[in-house]
Chains A and B, each alone.
Chain A
C-alpha cells in the first residue's frame, strides 16, 4: 500500500477524482499542498489575483459543465476572500469544493497569524464543511465532499486543512474510497409515484397552465425532458432567471422570464393561470412579488430535489420531492399511456390571450435618434454577431437584466449569472472558468463599468494563461440599477451611484497586454463586435458607452401582484 503525506493525499485524491483544473492562491498554510502540486502535471493550477476570482472561476466552470469546480486557498484572508464566491455558489446551488488551509492544529484558537475560524465563517453559506483532524482522513473527506457537493441539491463544500495535517514527512496509507455511504445523507433519487400521478391528472385538466422552468431544471440536466413535456402538452413556458436556456427561447411556447424584470406576458400569464408546474424553481422574492397576492387562481405543482424549497414561500398543492429529470420522465411515461388529452379548446383560448399580451410590451424600447446607444441594442447586436451561440457570463445590475432579456438562449448552461446572491464581479472570472474548459466556444462577459472594476485584476490571470474571453462592458458611467431605483423611489437623488473618476479602460486593457475597442455610436457597434470576435486568440475589452438614463422594464410594482408592472417610465399596468 502506498504511503503518502497529507499534502500528497490532497493532490492524489483530486487526481483520482479526475480533476483537471484547480483555481487558487498560495500562502503559508497551504505551502505543503502547493509543493505536492508542483511535483505532478495532471492537475493544472490557475493562479488568480484574488481568491474571490478563484471561486467564481470554479463556479463558472461548474455552471457550464455541471461538474464541481475546485478551489485551493490559504487560511485567514485567503479563506475569507473566498467567502463571497462560496456564498454565490450556495445561493444558486452550484457544486464546488473549496480546500482551505488552516493554521496548525496546535495553534487553533490562539489567534495565530492568518487564523480564521473558517468552519464558523463559512457555515451559513456552504452545503457542508469538514475539518481535517488526522491526515489519514483526507481521502475519505475529499470523496465525501465531492459527493455532497454534486448530489441532491448541489452546493459548495469547504474542507479546512490545518497545516500539520499536510506535513511532508508524516506519511500514511493512502486509499481513495470507491464509494460513499452516509447514514445521515441520502438525497431523493426519484419522486413519489402517487404524487406524480396526481400531478399528471392536474396537468390534463388544466385550462390556463404555465410551466415554470427553474435553475433546478438546468442544474439537474432536465432541459430536454422539460422541453418535451411542454411540447407534448402544448403549454406555455416561462423560465426563471436561473432557468434561462432550460427551454429554447426561440420556441413559440416560450414567454420569457417571470418576476421583477420579467416579460409582461410571462408575469400576466402566471397571474391569470389556473395551474403552475414548477420544475426546480424556488419562488424567490424576485419572482413572486407580494406572496399573498401571488397568482390567486393557480394551483401549484412543485417539483424540487430539496424538500425545504417546497412550500417555503408559496404553498404547493402537489409537492414532489425528487430530481427533475426522473420526475419528468415518469410524467412523460404516464402522459404517453393516458387516454385523456389536454383540453385543446381551453388551451387555444389561453394561447389567444397570451398572444394578445405578447403585443402589449413585447420587449420594446426606443432607440436614440442621435446615434448614441441604448444598452438593449448592444445586447441585440451581440446576439446577432455571435449567432445566439455564445456562453454569456453576466455581472450584476442593469446590464444583467438587459442581457437576460435580449439575448435569446436556446441551450441550457449558456446563461451564467449570479441570480441568488447578485454578486458584482462575478461575470469576468466566471467567463474565464468557462473559456478554460471550452476553449473553442465563444465566451462573453457582459458587464458594466461598476461590476467590472470589482475583479478587473484578473486581466493579469488572462495574460498569464492566455484566456481570450470577450468583455462587453455597457459603460453608462453610473451604477445603473442603483440609479434606476433612485430615479423611481428617491426623487432622482443619485446618492453615490455616479462613478466619478473612471479609468481609461483602453489604457488599462493595454497595460495588461490585451486589446480594447471603444464604441460610442450605433455605427461603430456591429463592426467593433465583429472585429472583437474575429480575434479568436485575444482577450478583447469592448468599452461601449450607453445611455445612462435608460431603465430596465418591465418592472414589478413593489408589494403588488405579478400583473402589476411598470412598462416604461410613464406607463403602468
Chain B
C-alpha cells in the first residue's frame, strides 16, 4: 500500500542525503520526494511517498526517526489528509487539436501559463490520480514534456506536524 510520510528535518547540509541514502541502503522504495525549507528556516519539510507491507512501512518510519537530523515525522496516510502535486506539461497545440487541448485543460481546471503558435504549456494541480487522468485524456502523441513536483501532503483538521 502507498504511504505518504511527512518529515520535519534539520535544515542542514547533508540531511537530505541521509534520508535518500537510508532508502537505498535498506532497500526501501521511493516513489516521489519533495523537500523545501519551512517558515522556520532551521527546518525543512520533506514529503516522501513509498509503498510496502505494514512491516516495511513500520521499519521505514522507525529508521527515519533514528536519523539524528530527523526532528519529527508522521505517516499522513494513517489519517484524513490532503495531498497535492503540481505538474507543468508542454503540449502540442496545432490545427484542429489546439481547441481540443484547450477544452481538456479547462475540464481539468488547468491553466495555460505559456503559449506559442504551436505549443501550450499547462500548469495543473491535484492529486496523483487527477494528473494521471489528464495525461491519459490528452494522449501521449500530444505531450512534448512533463515535469511533476511529487506529492506534498498535510493532515486534515486540527492535526499539526510541528515542533
Q: At the interface with chain B, which of A303-311, A419-427, A519-527?
A: A303-311
A307–B68 CB distance below 8 A: no
A124–B21 CB distance below 8 A: yes
Q: Report the bound CA distance from A120 to B24 in whole Å.
A: 13
A184–B59 CB distance below 8 A: no
Chain B CB within 8 A of A148 CB: yes
Q: At the interface with chain A, which of B12-20, B106-114, B126-134?
A: B12-20
A:174-188 near B, CB below 8 Å: 182-185
* Min CB gap A470→B, angstroms: 39
Contacts of A182 in B (CB 8 A): 68
Contact mask for chain A residues 284-316; partner B; CB cutoff 8 A; 1 contact, 0 none: 000000000000000000000011100110010
Contacts of A131 in B (CB 8 A): 13-14
* Min CB gap A505→B, angstroms: 40
Interface residues on chain A, number (Cβ under 8 Å):
19
A124–B25 CB distance below 8 A: yes
Chain A CB within 8 A of B2 CB: no
B:1-51 near A, CB below 8 Å: 9-10, 13-14, 17-18, 21, 25
Q: Report the bound CA distance from A148 to B68 in whole Å.
A: 9
Overall SS of chain B's interface:
helix
Given A119-B14, A131-B13: A183 and B59 interface contact (C-beta under 8 Å): no
Chain B CB within 8 A of A173 CB: no
Contacts of B21 in A (CB 8 A): 123-124
Given A120-B17, A131-B14: A184 and B69 interface contact (C-beta under 8 Å): yes
Set A124, A183, A185, A311: member contacting B58, Cβ < 8 A: A311
A:120-146 near B, CB below 8 Å: 120, 123-124, 127-128, 131, 133
Chain A CB within 8 A of B63 CB: yes
Chain A CB within 8 A of B163 CB: yes
Set B10, B18, B63, B163: member contacting A308, Cβ < 8 A: B63
Contacts of A127 in B (CB 8 A): 68
Contacts of A312 in B (CB 8 A): 59
Set A120, A307, A315: member contacting B62, Cβ < 8 A: A307
Contacts of B17 in A (CB 8 A): 120, 123
B71–A307 CB distance below 8 A: no
Contacts of B55 in A (CB 8 A): 311, 315
List 11 contacting pairs A-B, 8 Å CB cutoff, sorted by A.
Answer: A119-B14, A123-B21, A127-B68, A182-B68, A184-B71, A185-B68, A306-B66, A307-B65, A308-B62, A311-B58, A315-B55
When A and B form their complex, which 7 residue pairs have the shortest distance between CB atoms, in order from nearest? A308-B62, A184-B71, A128-B68, A124-B25, A307-B62, A185-B68, A308-B63
